[in-house]
């Protein structure tokens, strides 16, 4: 198949680089690579493959497809390593002496575990990234190893694939997924118009019906909800395998975290993207076949780890705007949120509210493990007596019901200012710390997955 666009000539950079990390993906690579070949994008394209210590026939399949792709005008760049285990060199001494040719030394600075409330989590290593500018391209230099030989997550493979690529735009692809022919074209058009956005798309699940409620959620979020619901799930509101963005913006935000097994590198990048003022956009067409299979859950991310990152982001991104707030849910999840907050944020909680008369009858919640004296005693109110702003700490369907109740209650009141950064309407000041209904795993490729519950 001859691509309509001319291949990149000598010294000419491709316009779009497809970023493809690979680890033991022989079952899906043929369909994945064929979908790259079938793109109807008329600009120049590059496929950047990083083989992360595959032990199956992945490299044989990649080499089989290489001439087909290059004959069609797609430049193919292949990197990787053959370490005994994936994600890099195995010892700390090798880290100190390792280099990335042409880009200088790599460094990593470890951190200790940090305790927040009653939750303890091993936070990622702080990665030092050096960006070497070369006209419109950049080489990302990151460390790729953990202490004591601990394997690092898929962020390493993604960073390496990006570092060896040269396109002005980055199209992320998991090795077990399949792109529709128009994906690169449509997402590139959107990214050109929105240079500081992560551009996603709708997906079709394979096999059909797997993670049905989660798939419906990611496909049906309204444009404004791509931002307002960033705290409602365990991952970004546009899923990582659909991401498309400019290289310049990625270099401004990134790289991906490489801090250790169990680190949600896509969620951490997404939060950093928002901190930098980035926007979120979705092309409302189904542009990716998104596979669900047992092998996909090889590196699970603990729910407690994600919870801790979400609470940190809530405290950083939203709570500073409020002098006080109410937690909607006096039950287990609401109390968990309260205990997870820093002492400064707990001081802002003026009440819990609920509809359960048994909880309301108790009158207050006492945080027995608090270091403060006297121990905090937080009132528990009926929701009709509570005052906004709210943090709704409930399952997503319950949160929707609560929003409807509040909307009905406030319909007879004069509209006030929107105090909620993530409020779902101008007169409903709340945040959602909700969780999706459980229907399986939120899969994001064969190397990095996490449960869909929060």
What is the full per-residue pLDDT of the chain (454 aa) written as tens digits? 445 455 665 567 899 999 999 999 999 999 999 999 999 999 999 999 999 889 999 999 999 999 999 999 999 999 988 776 666 433 323 332 333 332 322 333 333 333 333 333 333 332 222 222 222 322 222 223 333 333 345 789 999 999 999 999 999 999 999 999 999 999 999 999 999 999 999 999 999 988 888 899 899 999 989 988 887 667 899 999 999 999 999 999 989 998 766 778 899 999 999 999 999 999 999 999 999 877 664 345 778 888 899 999 999 988 998 999 999 999 999 999 999 999 999 999 999 999 999 999 989 999 887 777 788 889 999 989 999 999 988 765 444 444 444 444 554 443 333 333 344 333 345 566 655 443 433 333 333 333 232 2
pLDDT of residue 131: 26
Please tell me the distance from the alpha carbon of residue 329 to that of residue 24, in angstroms, as a whole number. Answer: 44
Q: Where are the beta strands (DSSP E) in 118-243?
A: 119-121, 126-127, 130-134, 137-141, 169-172, 178-179, 197-206
DSSP-assigned letter for residue 157: H
Secondary structure class of 285 (helix, strand, coil): strand
Please tell me the distance from the alpha carbon of residue 179 to that of residue 47, in angstroms, as a whole number. Answer: 13
Place of tokens 């409602």: 232
Which structure tokens are listed for 378? 């937080």
pLDDT of residue 260: 61
Burial class (CB in 10 A: 0-12, 13-18, 19+), 426: exposed
156 near 87, Cβ under 8 Å?
yes
Residues whose CB falls within 8 Å of the CB of residue 122, separated by 6 or more in sequence, listed in order: 113, 260, 262, 305
pLDDT of residue 367: 83
Task: Please state the length of the chain.
Answer: 454
Please tell me the distance from the alpha carbon of residue 25 to that of residue 273, in angstroms, as a whole number. Answer: 29
Q: Where do runs of H (alpha helix) occur along 254-298?
A: 265-275
Backbone angles phi, psi at 302, to 5 degrees: -65, 140
Kindly give the pairing relationship between strand 114-116 and strand 119-121.
antiparallel
- Cβ–Cβ contacts within 10 Å for residue 421, how many? 20
pLDDT of residue 91: 30
pLDDT of residue 38: 98
State the Cα torsion 169-175-178-180 to the nearest 10°.
10
């Amino acid at each position: 198949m001859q691509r309509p666009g001319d291949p990149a000539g000598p010294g000419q950079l491709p316009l779009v680089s497809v970023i493809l990390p690979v680890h033991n993906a022989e079952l899906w690579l043929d369909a994945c690579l064929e979908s790259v070949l079938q793109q109807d994008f008329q600009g120049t394209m590059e496929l950047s493959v990083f083989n992360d210590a595959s032990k199956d026939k992945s490299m044989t399949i990649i080499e089989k497809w290489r001439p087909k792709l290059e004959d069609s005008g797609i430049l193919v760049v292949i990197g990787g390593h053959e370490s005994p285990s994936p994600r890099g060199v195995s010892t700390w001494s090798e880290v100190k002496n390792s280099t990335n040719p042409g880009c200088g030394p790599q460094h990593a600075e470890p951190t200790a575990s940090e305790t927040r409330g009653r939750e303890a989590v091993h936070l990622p290593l702080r990665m030092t990234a050096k960006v070497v500018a070369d006209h419109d391209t950049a080489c990302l230099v990151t460390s790729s190893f953990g202490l004591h030989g601990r394997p690092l997550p898929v962020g390493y493979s993604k960073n390496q694939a990006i570092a060896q690529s040269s396109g002005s735009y980055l199209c992320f692809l998991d090795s077990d997924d399949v792109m529709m022919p128009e994906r690169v074209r449509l997402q590139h058009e959107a990214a050109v118009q929105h240079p500081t956005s992560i551009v996603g798309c709708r997906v079709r699940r394979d096999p059909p019906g797997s993670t049905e409620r989660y798939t419906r959620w990611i496909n049906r979020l309204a444009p404004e909800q791509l931002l307002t619901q960033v705290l409602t799930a365990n991952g970004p509101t546009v899923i990582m395998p659909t991401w498309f963005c400019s290289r310049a913006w990625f270099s401004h935000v990134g790289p991906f975290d490489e801090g250790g097994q169990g680190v949600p590198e896509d969620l951490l990048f997404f939060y950093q993207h928002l901190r930098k003022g980035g926007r979120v956009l979705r092309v409302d067409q189904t542009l990716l076949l998104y596979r669900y299979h047992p092998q996909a859950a090889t590196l699970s991310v603990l729910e407690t780890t994600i919870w801790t990152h979400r609470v940190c982001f809530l405290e950083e991104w939203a709570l500073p705007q409020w002098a006080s707030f109410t937690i909607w849910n006096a039950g287990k999840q609401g109390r968990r949120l309260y205990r997870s907050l820093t002492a400064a944020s707990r001081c802002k909680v003026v009440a819990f509210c609920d509809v359960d008369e048994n909880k309301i009858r108790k009158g207050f919640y006492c945080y027995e493990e608090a270091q403060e004296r006297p121990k905090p005693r937080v009132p528990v109110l009926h929701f009709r007596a509570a005052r906004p702003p709210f943090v709704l700490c409930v399952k997503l369907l319950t949160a929707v019901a609560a929003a409807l109740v509040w909307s009905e209650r406030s319909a007879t009141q004069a509209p006030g200012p929107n105090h909620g950064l993530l409020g779902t309407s101008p007169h409903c000041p709340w945040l959602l710390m909700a969780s999706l209904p459980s229907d399986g795993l939120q899969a994001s490729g064969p190397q990095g997955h996490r449960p869909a519950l929060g």
